[in-house]
Structure formats: C-alpha cells, structure tokens
C-alpha cells in the first residue's frame, strides 16, 4: 500500500488482505496479481471523471485525457488480439456478455452455448440469470468427460434444429482445446454469429500461447481483463472486422446497459494491455501452461481423476470425491487451513449439489506470476494430495502450511512485470 490512510478501519482490512495474499498460494484459476503500474492507474484520479460516450463523442467537457487513455486502451487491445474493433468500457465479464446478447438478439432468440455442468459459465444462460429470462439458451456438451472432446456432431445437429442467432464458445471450468474452425463451419451453415467468451484464457491467447479464435474466423470475443490477462477487474468486447456489429455493441454498452465508463479501470486496462504486448508476458503465458502440465502429471501419477483427462490450458478440474472420497467443499476448507486457496466446483454430470460438489478447480496463473516453475508446481500438487489423503491429520497439515508459507516467502508477489 503506497501511503498511510486516515480511515484506519479500511487500512487495516487492506493490510490484512495484503498479508493473506502475500503468505498464501493463490490457485483459483480466475485470479492473478496485477503490477504496481496497473494498481496505480486503477487507483488514479481518473476515478473522478465522468465520460459518458466514446472518445471524441462525449456528453461532458474536460475529456482530453480520458479520450487519450481510452484510445490507447482500444489501440493496444486491437493489437493484442489482432482485430479491428474493441470496446473497453464493460464494467466486467458479465456486462460484456449481456451487451453482446442485447446488441445482436431479440427477446426469445436462441443462443447455443456450452452446458454449464460441462464447463460453461453462469452468464451463458444459467436459469437464475437475466439473459436466461430474456433469451433461449440451448446446450452442447462434451462427448466424453474422460477426454473432454466436445461433441461437435451433436453441436451441429442442435444448431440445425434450433437455429441459434449466436453460437457461443467459452468456459470457466473446461481444460481442453476447442476446435474453433468447427464452430465457425457450423455457424456459417446455420447463419449464426460466432462469439468466444475467452475470459479465462484471454492472456494466454494475447501472448500467442493458445490459439486465437479470430484466426479461425470468429466474429466476436468477450473477456474479463483480470484473469490471465493480468489487468484490473473489468470487461472487454472485441470485434474481428464487422463494423456494423461493432457499432451495435458500442451503442448497447452505452447507453444501452451502462452509464459512465470507469476511466480509472480503463487506465488500468491500458497499462495491462501494454504489459501483455511485451516478450516477458509471452514467456509468462508459456510458463502458465507448462506449470499446469506439471501439476497434471502429479495428479495422474496419483490416480486422481481429472475431467477432460488433463489440461491444455491453465486449469485443472479434479474429481476429488470420486478419486478420494473427499467432497469439493471439504477439500476447499482443508486447503484454506494450509494456506492454499482454490474453489470447489461441479464436475460434468455431478451427482452432488453445487454447494458441496465432487470437484475442485485450480490453476497456475497467479503462482506463475510469483515465479513458480514446474518444480515448485509439482511440489504444490504433491502437498495438495497429501493433505487430501490425510485431511484430519493436524500435524501433517501444520507442516504443509509451514512449507506453503516458506514457498510464498521465497517467491514474493512481484511489483514490476516489464
């Protein structure tokens, strides 16, 4: 924290959170650490400014700096993802997805997305969400959870039958590679727009470590900016080349569903995109994947069932209940005790309930930012398994906690990324 605060209550909580992050290991695959530059931009005086509209077309005066920062963020986003249009104003991933639906669909129109229990996200049509109340979401699944391959034949069959306006590729708990070309082929056959929600893997795509859906002809990418992209909490909508679509999206973000953009967050996004354009970020992304593979290897050796059979990206979804008889909730709690943060997660066709599912989801973006390589990741995976196998052994848990703390101390959270 840069300077002393007058509000001692809030200062104390910030310090306590800093300590938690410093001393524990973050394995939640949607979390990461931002650089000091991103923090500075995100906490800057841009938070004081109203800038409804877009650069050059605002409804308030005093926009010389906001216009410049938003233009910079847009230019860097387009360069990173190799596309023509970017909207950097969505407050987060959920509003970004809502904006695309609202821009391109009429109420009742159909979206074909990944089944939520097979890795899709809540914003892809969970019954409790607003989009699900307005639009009709239909599903595709994995052919076999043991390999993770999507059932493309079924996807095509459903697309032909249901005639979706949008075919959506994207996930928050899926560890394999999608065949974007197949999505585009099927979408063209039925006249649908292709949308990829790359919230989890955007940083890995930006760095060229994973394939860019735009290279296979996708029309739209939505994303968060705070996961592998290592920026401030926020959303992003990219359009490959279709200006008509990009204009509809801009109008829907503002004034359709949002008011004034959060210019301090956009400043933070501009910094993060700049960092992601560097060779150092490319190395980071490659290491994220290597580290996940290293953890996969340890799990496989220990006969822990992984949904999809392993990982091609930054995350692993492990069936701890099926493998060890430990529920996802029990696992999450016991890992909290030893200084490892991850999350319980439903697995494909989970017989258990969401608040105590069969699985845990974890990943390598944050520990890789700390500088972990394969050796450390393997050790963490070994420690995780020993804790799961001996979850009531107090002594063992104490010794694991000690080792986790020592690892965290050896690999402090860096402040500068370039």
Residue in 31, 52, 382, 403 annotated catalytic: 52
Can you tell me the distance from the alpha carbon of 1 to that of 415, in angstroms, rounded to the nearest whole number? Answer: 11
Nearest one of 264, 266, 287 to 366, comparing CA atoms:
287
The least distance separating ligand PLP from the CB of residue 416, rounded to whole angstroms, comes to 25
Q: Which residue number, 200 or 248, has a Cβ lying nearer to ligand PLP?
A: 200
Neighbours of 336 (CB within 10 A): 12
Regarding 123 and contact with ligand PLP (CB under 6 A), the answer is yes
Q: Which residue number, 198 or 246, has a Cβ lying nearer to ligand PLP?
A: 198
113 DSSP 8-state letter = E
Regarding 121 and contact with ligand PLP (CB under 6 A), the answer is yes
Regarding 224 and contact with ligand PLP (CB under 6 A), the answer is yes
Among 88, 193, 195, 199, binds ligand PLP (CB under 6 A): 199
Does the annotation count 176 as an active-site position?
no
Can you tell me the distance from the alpha carbon of 100 to that of 98, in angstroms, rounded to the nearest whole number? Answer: 5
Nearest one of 30, 81, 75, 76 to 218, comparing CA atoms:
81
Among 72, 83, 94, 315, binds ligand PLP (CB under 6 A): 94
356 DSSP 8-state letter = B
Can you tell me the distance from the alpha carbon of 339 to that of 334, in angstroms, rounded to the nearest whole number? Answer: 9
Regarding 141 and contact with ligand PLP (CB under 6 A), the answer is no
The least distance separating ligand PLP from the CB of residue 235, rounded to whole angstroms, comes to 6
Residue in 110, 194, 224, 228 annotated catalytic: 224
- Strand 136-140 and strand 25-26: pairing? unpaired
**8 Å CB contact between 195 and 222:** yes
Regarding 313 and contact with ligand PLP (CB under 6 A), the answer is no
Q: Which residue number, 105 or 387, has a Cβ lying nearer to ligand PLP?
A: 105
Regarding 343 and contact with ligand PLP (CB under 6 A), the answer is no
Does the annotation count 106 as an active-site position?
no
Query: Of 62-70, 90-98, 100-108, 407-415, which segment contacts ligand PLP by CB under 6 A?
Result: 90-98
Regarding 63 and contact with ligand PLP (CB under 6 A), the answer is no
Can you tell me the distance from the alpha carbon of 212 to that of 202, in angstroms, rounded to the nearest whole number? Answer: 9
Residue 104 among known ligand-binding residues: no
Residue in 76, 227, 361, 391 annotated catalytic: 227
Regarding 200 and contact with ligand PLP (CB under 6 A), the answer is yes
Residue 226 among known ligand-binding residues: no
Query: Of 101-109, 180-188, 197-205, 325-333, which segment contacts ligand PLP by CB under 6 A?
Result: 197-205
Q: Which residue number, 197 or 319, has a Cβ lying nearer to ligand PLP?
A: 197
Residue 231 among known ligand-binding residues: no
Does the annotation count 233 as an active-site position?
yes
CA atoms within 13 A on the CB side of 16: 6
Residue window 153-172: x/- pattern of binding to ligand PLP, with contact defined by CB under 6 A: -----------------xxx
**8 Å CB contact between 34 and 231:** yes
Residue in 11, 31, 40, 50 annotated catalytic: 50
Q: Is 110 helix (H, G, I), strand (E, B) or coil?
A: strand
CA atoms within 13 A on the CB side of 194: 24
Regarding 32 and contact with ligand PLP (CB under 6 A), the answer is no
213 DSSP 8-state letter = G
Residue in 163, 233, 282, 293 annotated catalytic: 233
Nearest one of 264, 238, 260 to 249, comparing CA atoms:
238
Can you tell me the distance from the alpha carbon of 399 to that of 405, in angstroms, rounded to the nearest whole number? Answer: 10
The least distance separating ligand PLP from the CB of residue 84, rounded to whole angstroms, comes to 23
Residue 120 among known ligand-binding residues: yes
Among 51, 63, 92, 323, binds ligand PLP (CB under 6 A): 92
The least distance separating ligand PLP from the CB of residue 117, rounded to whole angstroms, comes to 14
Q: Is 48 helix (H, G, I), strand (E, B) or coil?
A: helix
Residue 93 among known ligand-binding residues: no
Distances (CA, A) of 101 to 130, 138, 399: 11, 14, 50
The least distance separating ligand PLP from the CB of residue 178, rounded to whole angstroms, comes to 12
Can you tell me the distance from the alpha carbon of 302 to that of 323, in angstroms, rounded to the nearest whole number? Answer: 9
Q: Is 235 helix (H, G, I), strand (E, B) or coil?
A: strand
**8 Å CB contact between 359 and 172:** no
Distances (CA, A) of 224 to 175, 201, 202: 18, 9, 8
**8 Å CB contact between 204 and 227:** no
Residue in 26, 197, 250, 296 annotated catalytic: 197
Q: Which residue number, 76 or 121, has a Cβ lying nearer to ligand PLP?
A: 121
Binding-site ranges for ligand PLP (CB under 6 A): 30, 92-94, 97, 121, 123, 170-172, 197, 199-200, 224
Q: Which residues are annotated as a binding site for (6S)-5,6,7,8-tetrahydrofolate?
A: 116, 120-122, 243
Which positions are catalytic?
A: 50, 52, 197, 224, 227, 233
């Amino acid at each position: 924290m840069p300077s002393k605060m007058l509000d001692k209550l809030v200062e104390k909580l910030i310090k306590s959170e800093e300590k938690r992050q410093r001393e524990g290991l973050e394995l939640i695959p949607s979390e990461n650490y931002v650089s000091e530059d991103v923090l500075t931009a995100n906490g800057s005086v841009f938070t004081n400014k109203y800038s409804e509209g877009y650069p050059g077309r605002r409804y308030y005066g005093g926009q010389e700096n906001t216009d410049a920062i938003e233009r910079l963020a847009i230019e860097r986003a387009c360069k990173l993802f190799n596309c023509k249009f970017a909207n950097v104003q969505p407050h987060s991933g959920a509003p970004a997805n809502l904006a695309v639906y609202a821009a391109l669909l009429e109420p009742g129109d159909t979206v074909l997305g990944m089944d939520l229990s097979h890795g899709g996200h809540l914003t892809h049509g969970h019954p409790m969400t607003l989009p699900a109340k307005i639009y009709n979401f239909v599903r595709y699944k994995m052919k076999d959870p043991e390999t993770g391959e999507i059932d493309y034949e079924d996807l095509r069959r459903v697309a032909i039958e249901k005639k979706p306006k949008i075919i959506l590729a994207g996930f928050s708990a899926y560890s394999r590679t999608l065949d974007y070309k197949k999505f585009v082929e099927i979408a063209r056959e039925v006249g649908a727009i292709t949308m990829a929600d790359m919230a989890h893997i955007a940083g890995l795509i930006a760095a060229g470590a994973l394939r860019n859906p735009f290279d296979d002809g996708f029309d739209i990418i939505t994303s968060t900016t705070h996961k592998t992209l290592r920026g401030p909490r926020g959303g992003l909508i990219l359009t490959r080349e279709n200006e008509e679509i990009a204009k509809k999206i801009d109008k829907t973000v503002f004034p359709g569903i949002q008011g004034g953009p959060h210019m301090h967050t956009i400043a933070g996004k501009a910094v993060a995109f700049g960092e992601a354009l560097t060779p150092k970020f490319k190395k980071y992304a490659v290491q994220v994947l290597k580290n996940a593979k290293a953890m996969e290897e340890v799990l496989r050796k220990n006969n822990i069932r992984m949904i999809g059979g392993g990982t091609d990206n930054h995350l692993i979804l492990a069936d701890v209940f099926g493998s060890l008889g430990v529920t996802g909730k029990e696992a999450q709690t016991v890992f909290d005790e030893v200084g490892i943060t991850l999350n319980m997660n439903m697995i494909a066709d989970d017989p258990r309930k969401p608040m105590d599912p069969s699985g845990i989801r974890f990943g390598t973006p944050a520990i890789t930012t700390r500088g972990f390589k394969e050796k450390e990741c393997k050790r963490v995976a070994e420690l995780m398994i020993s804790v799961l196998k001996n979850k009531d052994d107090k002594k063992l848990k104490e010794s694991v906690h000690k080792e986790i703390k020592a690892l965290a101390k050896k690999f402090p959270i860096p402040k500068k990324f370039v």
